[in-house]
Amino acid sequence: MATRGTVVLDIIGTCFRLEKPRQKLLEIGATPYTMQLWFAQTLRDAFAYSHAGRYLPLKEILEAELPRTLKVLGIEANAEQRSQIVKSFSELDLQPDALDAFKTLTAAGFQLIALTNGSAESTQKLLENAGAIQHFERILSCDTVQKTKPHPEVYEMAKQNVAGDIWMVAAHAWDIAGAANAGLKTAFITQEEKEYLSVYPQPEIIADSLLQAANKIVL
């Protein structure tokens, strides 16, 4: 079957759930929203440092951000507990319908690319452990260009050596906006943020889940 196009998938929070680190945080007495705050502040500071002209891998910022987030919320955690919380990011589970979404897209003739602010190595391990690696043509990390999404150079990597339509699928509005500004078609998943940000470029597709987005893309 000829390739109909390319679907670029965000990984953390889109293809993989953040439930394991959330549960680890709950075990030390954190609130259910501690996970969202920690991850949001990690992304903010990763973006800020990248925008300032420097770069650090996401894991380093994730590790540095955790004790500060816990301190702000008045939550006690020792070094071993914090280490286990960070480690749980290497053990994330796929969204329940992710494999069906990948199969739907590849069966329809789309090639899949993983595009992540995490490392290529950690992403490959996540996909291998989930039994999903065979669906992906490439794994691209912002480590390569030393800039975080949503910088245009990150999306330019995904546009190299592909034919047909290029879609970005993500559960983060900022990721969708970055991809749209880089010329990609976009599909926003509402599972995490619930609503798209009205001031951003509107996506072609808004879906409740990965599988729903996949079904709309292949139509």
The CATH number that applies at residue 36 is: 1.10.150.240
Q: What is the pLDDT of residue 3?
A: 81
Q: What is the pLDDT of residue 2?
A: 65
Range of the domain at 211: 5-17+93-218
Q: What is the pLDDT of residue 200?
A: 98
Question: Can you spell out the DSSP letters for 132-155?
Answer: -GGGEEEEEETTTTT--TTSHHHH
* Rounded Cα–Cα distance for residues 49 and 55 (Å): 6
Mean pLDDT of all residues in 97-116: 98
Q: What is the pLDDT of residue 161?
A: 85
The residue from 32, 66, 91 where one domain ends is 91
Q: What is the pLDDT of residue 163?
A: 80
Other C-beta atoms within 10 Å of 216: how many? Answer: 13
Q: Which residues contact 53 (CB under 8 A, 6 or more apart)?
A: none
Q: Clarify whether residues 9 and 72 are in a common domain.
A: no
Q: What is the pTM of this model?
A: 0.96
* Rounded Cα–Cα distance for residues 172 and 191 (Å): 10
CA–chain centroid gap for 149, Å, is 10
pLDDT of residue 176 exceeding 90: yes
* Structure-token match 């439930």, residue found: 19
Q: Clarify whether residues 107 and 67 are in a common domain.
A: no
Residue 28 near residue 81, CB atoms below 8 Å: yes
* Rounded Cα–Cα distance for residues 121 and 11 (Å): 13
* Residue 28 DSSP one-character state: T
Q: Clarify whether residues 57 and 115 are in a common domain.
A: no
Q: How confident is the model at residue 155 (pLDDT cuts 50, 70, 90)?
A: very high
Q: Clarify whether residues 121 and 140 are in a common domain.
A: yes
Could you tell me the CA-to-CA distances from 213 to 4, 130, 167, 218 in Å, in that order?
16, 20, 11, 9
- pLDDT (tens digit, 9 = 90+) per residue, 18-60? 999 999 999 999 998 999 999 999 999 999 999 999 999 999 9
Q: Clarify whether residues 72 and 107 are in a common domain.
A: no
* Rounded Cα–Cα distance for residues 218 and 200 (Å): 24
Mean pLDDT of all residues in 110-131: 98
Tally the domains of the chain: 2
- pLDDT (tens digit, 9 = 90+) per residue, 191-214? 999 999 999 999 999 999 999 999
Percent of the chain having pLDDT more than 90? 96
pLDDT of residue 81 exceeding 90: yes
User: What are the backbone dihedrals phi and psi of residue 166, each rounded to the nearest 5 degrees, phi first?
Assistant: -120, 120
* Residue 94 DSSP one-character state: B
Q: Clarify whether residues 52 and 156 are in a common domain.
A: no
